[in-house]
Every structure is written in structure tokens, then in C-alpha cells.
Amino acid sequence: MAHDDLTPAPQVGPLFTETDLWDAADLDLDAYRERTGLPAGLAPTAETLRAVQRAHLASIPFENVELVLGRPVPLDVPALVDKMVRHRRGGYCYEQNLLLASVLSRLGFAVTGFAARVVVGANGHVRPATHALLRVETEEGPYLADVGFGGGGLLEPIPFADGHQEAQGGWGVRLDRVEGLGGPEWLLRTFDGREWAPQFAFTTAGQARTDYAIFSHYLTSHPRSPFLGRLTAQRIGPGTQYKLMNTTLFTAHPDGTGGQDEIPARDVPRVLEEVFGIGLDEREREIVVGRVSEFINM
């Protein structure tokens, strides 16, 4: 049969809806608003997007305590809400940004997930694209939103525009179109008081929750994963960034100043609670102290 004898293909609509992609119907939005201090009745505007990211970062820290405790990291929305909202804990990039995507979708935003290669500290090596981030459509145009990069990321969403730079709480951020692996990519850089430092690079190929589940399995099981073999907790706010790596607490400021303090392993649970708002029960504190002691003696 000749190709021109084929019956015309039917028109095909969108393969997925935003709710399908981010399981927004499974979200307890009231509980999330209570956790983050956000009001009810938020409209899907650029100002709402900024308010949600600021509130999320102020309330929910970046951390990998569950992995230190030897527990799995599920990514379904009810599990994310139970951990980060009801039990007032934090999470790493997939947990953080999948929860944010569900919230934003529920509020009426169109959200697209991306995967980024972390370049800070890579020393020229090509890392896999294992960081999650989001593009969010607003009446002002598209924005890049990210609550899961830890201590060196965005305080607020940034306009998705080549060459855009701005100061956020004293921290400088800039987004550029650059030549990447096989074609153009986007690069996010931050200003540390001395120079612009590349943080991560990404393409605009859309990612879904199922894609992130595969990436997450790698990060929670591969022996060379940066989330195994050490404890980390991070938080960034206006004027100050905190990062705990095992028993070292780093502090940094937008003018390039900062410092670090060594703390005894037995005090790590106290620092987790006082600096990062991560409360542990007695058994969890014992496990964390023991595991951190093992990490620093490896």
C-alpha cells in the first residue's frame, strides 16, 4: 500500500494534564499552607509564585536525614506531605520540588519539570542530570522556580530570560543561554561576593514524576552518590546561608564573608533542630550521632 493511501491520522490532544503530571489532587493544601504560613485564596500570579517559594524555603530545610537513618525516600505526594508538612521535616531536591510542583499545579499554575547537571564543584567533569527544577508559567511570563538546591540556590523564582540577573536577599543570581553538550543549554550562576560561580546547567526537555523516581533511585542507592556516606542539612535566607556537613557547620554571607565551626558529633541533633528546624526523637538522635561518627572516621 502506498503511503498516500493511508487514512489521515486523527488529531491528538495533550498527552497529560498538569494534575496528572504532579498528582495535585493528592495534596493536602491546607496542611501545606499551615506549615509555610501562606494564606488561603492565592491566585496563580507571579507574586503568588514568589511568595510560595519564599515561604517554602523559610519553612522546609534541605536535608538527607532519612538516608542517614537508613530509610527509603518515597516521592508520592501523600508521603511528601506526611514527611515534610505533617512531621515538619525537610528533604532533598526531588522531594522538595515535587512537593512544590504539586502545590503550584493545585494553585492553577502550568508547571514543567526539568533536570539539571550540577556543575559547582565538578572541576570540569560531566555529572549526570540529577537535579530537579521547575519552569512555571505566569502572567508576567515564564519563571524558573527551585526550592531544592540547598544552600546556594534561588531565594525567589527568576524570570526565564537569557542574561537576566538580580539580587535576592543580597545574593546575586543570573541565568544565561550557553553552549552545552550537543547544543544550547541554560546556566544558573550565583554571585558569592567575589565572582559569578556556575551552579547548574539544564535543557528544556520536560521531565515527569516517573523520570525523577529513576534519578532518585540512583542518588539514594549508588555508592558514589553525594547523599550517601555523609549527613547534610542546608538553608539559605536573606543575608545568610547555613550548611551542615557531618560535624562542620558553614556560614556564608553575600559579601563573601563567612566561617565554619566544628561541633562534637553528640551535638549534631541539637544543631539540626536549632539551625535547621529538624526535630528528631531519642532513637533517631542516637542513630544520627552514631552514623555521623562513622562518617567522620571513614
To the query of whether residue 30 is one of the catalytic residues in this protein, the response is: no
Residue 139: CB atoms within 10 Å: 9
CB 118 within 8 A of CB 127: yes
Exactly one of 23, 56, 131, 192 is catalytic; name it. 131
DSSP secondary structure, the chain, as one string: --GGGSPPPPP---S--HHHHHTGGG--HHHHHHHHTPPS---SSHHHHHHHHHHHHHHS-EE-HHHHTT-----SHHHHIIIIIIS---B-HHHHHHHHHHHHHHHT--EEEEEEEE-TT-TT------EEEEEEEETTEEEEE-S-SGGGS-SS-EE--TTEEEEETTEEEEEEEEE-SSSEEEEEEEE-SSSEEEEEEE----B-HHHHHHHHHHHHH-TT-TTSSS-EEEEEETTEEEEEETTEEEEE-TTS-EEEEE--GGGHHHHHHHHH-----HHHHHHHHHHHHHHHT-
**What's at 240, amino acid-wise?**
T
To the query of whether residue 93 is one of the catalytic residues in this protein, the response is: yes
Exactly one of 56, 146, 162, 211 is catalytic; name it. 146
Residue 260: CB atoms within 10 Å: 11
* The three three-digit cell numbers of residue 244, written as one number: 551542615
To the query of whether residue 131 is one of the catalytic residues in this protein, the response is: yes
Exactly one of 76, 93, 192, 211 is catalytic; name it. 93
Catalytic residue list:
93, 131, 146
